[in-house]
């Protein structure tokens, strides 16, 4: 069974180590979104990995999530990053 795990992150700095660790390749570049894809061997067999570099903010995260759900058969989505705010 070919599973797809997706990771959403806002900034390139947050994604760099994951891209390197799993040797992900940029496959698409949309207006404000970059898509990286690759595979890895998991406990349940071969897994597809999709990383979406979606940009900062709730709206960008929603756009990235919507893109994933409309274009990939994803069984898990992980949103990672550093939360910050200046007031």
Domain boundaries, the chain: 3-79
Give every CB contact of residue 79 below 8 A, 6+ residues apart in sequence: 7, 8, 9, 61, 65
What pTM value is reported for the model? 0.84
Question: How far is it, in rounded angstroms, from Cα 68 to Cα 86?
Answer: 30
Q: What does the pLDDT read at residue 6?
A: 94
CA distance 41 to 33: 26
Are 4 and 47 in contact by the 8 Å Cβ rule? The answer is yes
Q: What is the pLDDT of residues 50-63, one digit of tens each?
A: 999 999 988 998 99
Tokens, residue 20: 């390197």
Looking at the DSSP bridge assignments, the partners of residue 51 are: 7, 36
């Amino acid at each position: 069974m070919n599973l797809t795990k997706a990771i959403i992150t806002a900034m390139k700095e947050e994604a760099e180590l994951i891209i390197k660790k799993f040797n992900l390749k940029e496959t698409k570049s949309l207006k404000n979104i970059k898509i990286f894809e690759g595979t890895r061997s998991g406990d349940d067999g071969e897994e597809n990995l999709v990383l979406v570099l979606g940009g900062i903010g709730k709206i960008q995260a929603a756009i990235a999530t919507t893109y994933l759900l409309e274009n990939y058969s994803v069984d898990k989505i992980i949103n990672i990053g550093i939360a910050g705010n200046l007031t």
